[in-house]
Amino acid sequence: MAWDNIHHNRRIFDSELKMEKKDVFIIIAAFNEELRIRKVIQNLKKAGYHNIVATDDGSKDKTYEALQKENIYALKHVINRGQGAALKTGIDFALKKGAKYLVTFDADGQHRVEDLEAVIMPVREGAVDVTLGSRFLDKKTKMPFLRKLTLKIGVLIQFIFYGLWLSDAHNGFRCFSQKAAELIDIKSDRMEHASEIVEQIKLKKLKYKEIPVTIIYNEDTLRKGHGGFIQAIKVFSKMLFRKIFH
Amino acid sequence: MIGFFQIFVLAFAIFALSRVILRLREGQISQIETAFWFIIWTGISSLVFFPKPAIFISELLGIGRAADMMVYFAIILLFYMIFRIYVKTVTMDQRMTQLVREIAIQKGDNQAKKRNNKKTNTK
């Protein structure tokens, strides 16, 4: 009888978990990720996340065709507009579908599915409106020194511009509540959208928390590496321009 | 005395004005924009042939030479026009993104509906 109760309770717990995951929408912006995107989506599905909105940002390869082979919401930008624009497309689509929790997740396999629950939990519990992944809250992420230095300079610049002291300047692993996703209006198309999200969190007085996440780097992703220092300079100039003229 | 420079400027101004009239006829510029360019090119031609007003204004403004004054005004005007063009470019870029995003969402919506209909029909 005791075992029956345990199994019964386990079934209730599992179905509650499934119900909770139904409210979670994973938002992915993909550009030229034909080789990696299906594995990323399959891993998400194995973990029970089936509401996946992936936007192909005008890829030159067969990313969109790869997305269509998975049973997900596959969107396509007819021309490349940037990661910020692709995420906003995915977020707006998910909100139309009734998403309660929206998680932005990288298309290149750098984010771990195992970190999802930790990122979603504080938002689901109502403790915060936004969680921001940070690769610096634990020591699990290994990265080149120059990349680390660039990100830390980014943290300082973000603090000077927006008054928010974070440990990770540009981490794409985030969870928004429905309210936060509706309030945050991403206008930047390209990589500077990450800083704009931080600015909007401050302006809209949203409650936020940083969560330790592990970023998996490999040769491909390091090479792709958001353009490194030059990209960081471009993002900084756009931040400065927005601050002065907007 | 009419020299080579005056003739060159006049010829160029006539050529520029002919382009302006062509663009007006094609509907690519408005009447106000046409009037603006008309004033600019006739003003430049007039000053080249009758520099005394320019000399008077430059002395009034405390700028040494009329030619220097023309260059300063030209630079100010150019910077302003660059700013206007920049704003237009940014606005167009934003509108293009909006359009691309709306097309993507609409198509995605339609495909999701088709998939749901297929599932319902299969059942």
Q: Return the sign of the alpha-carbon dihedral for residues A72, A77, A83, A87.
A: negative
* A1 has pLDDT over 70: no
Phi-psi region of A212 (alpha: psi -120 to 50; beta: other; left: phi over 0): beta
pLDDT of A114-126, one tens digit each? 999 999 999 999 9
The answer to whether A96 contacts chain B (CB < 8 Å) is yes
| pTM passes above 0.90 | no
The answer to whether A238 faces chain B, any CB pair under 8 Å, is: no
Tokens of A84: 């910020």
Cα–Cα distance measured from residue A152 to residue A199, given in angstroms and rounded to the nearest whole number: 17
Q: For residue A224, what pLDDT is reported?
A: 60
Average the pLDDT over A80-98 and give the result. 96
* pLDDT for the residue A65: 96
> What pLDDT sits at residue A223?
63
State which residue of chain A sits closest to B91, comparing Cα positions. A187
The Cα–Cα gap between A5 and A187 comes to: 52
Cross-chain residue pair B101–A77, CB shorter than 8 Å: yes
The predicted model gives A56-76 an average pLDDT of 96
Instruction: Give the contacts of A120 (CB within 8 A, at least 6 positions apart).
Output: A24, A101, A103, A131, A175
Q: Which of A12-16, A219-223, B114-118 has the lowest average pLDDT?
A: A12-16
Higher-pLDDT residue of A136 and B2 is A136
Helical axes B4-25 vs B31-49, angle rounded to 10°: 170
Give the C-alpha separation, B10 to B42, whole Å. 9
Predicted confidence (pLDDT) at residue B119 exceeds the cutoff of 90: no
- Confidence bin at A5 (pLDDT 50/70/90): low
Alpha helices, H only, chain B: 4-25, 31-49, 52-61, 66-122
More confident residue, A17 or A235: A235
pLDDT digits (tens, 9 = 90+) for A186-212: 888 988 899 999 999 999 999 999 999
β-partners of residue A30 are: A56
Residue A4 identity (one-letter amino acid): D
Closest CA to A246 of A201, A179, A200, A215: A200
Optimal mutation site among B105, B109, B114, B115, interface A, most CBs of chain A within 10 A: B105
Spacing of C-alpha B90 from chain mean position: 14
Would the CB atoms of B104 and A78 count as touching at under 8 Å?
yes
Contact A187 B94 (CB under 8 A): yes
Q: What is the pLDDT of residue B102?
A: 97
Tell me what the mean pLDDT of segment B76-102 comes to.
94
Q: How far is A188 from chain B (nearest CA, A)?
A: 9
- Please write the tens of the pLDDT for every residue from B29-80: 999 999 999 999 999 899 888 888 888 889 999 988 888 998 999 999 999 9
Per-residue model confidence as pLDDT tens digits over A210-229: 999 998 887 666 666 555 66
Centre a 10 Å sphere on the Cβ of residue A6 and count the other Cβ atoms it contains: 10
Any idea which of A1-10, A35-44, A74-83, A145-154 has the lowest mean pLDDT? Answer: A1-10
Lowest-pLDDT choice from A55-64, A80-89, A216-225: A216-225
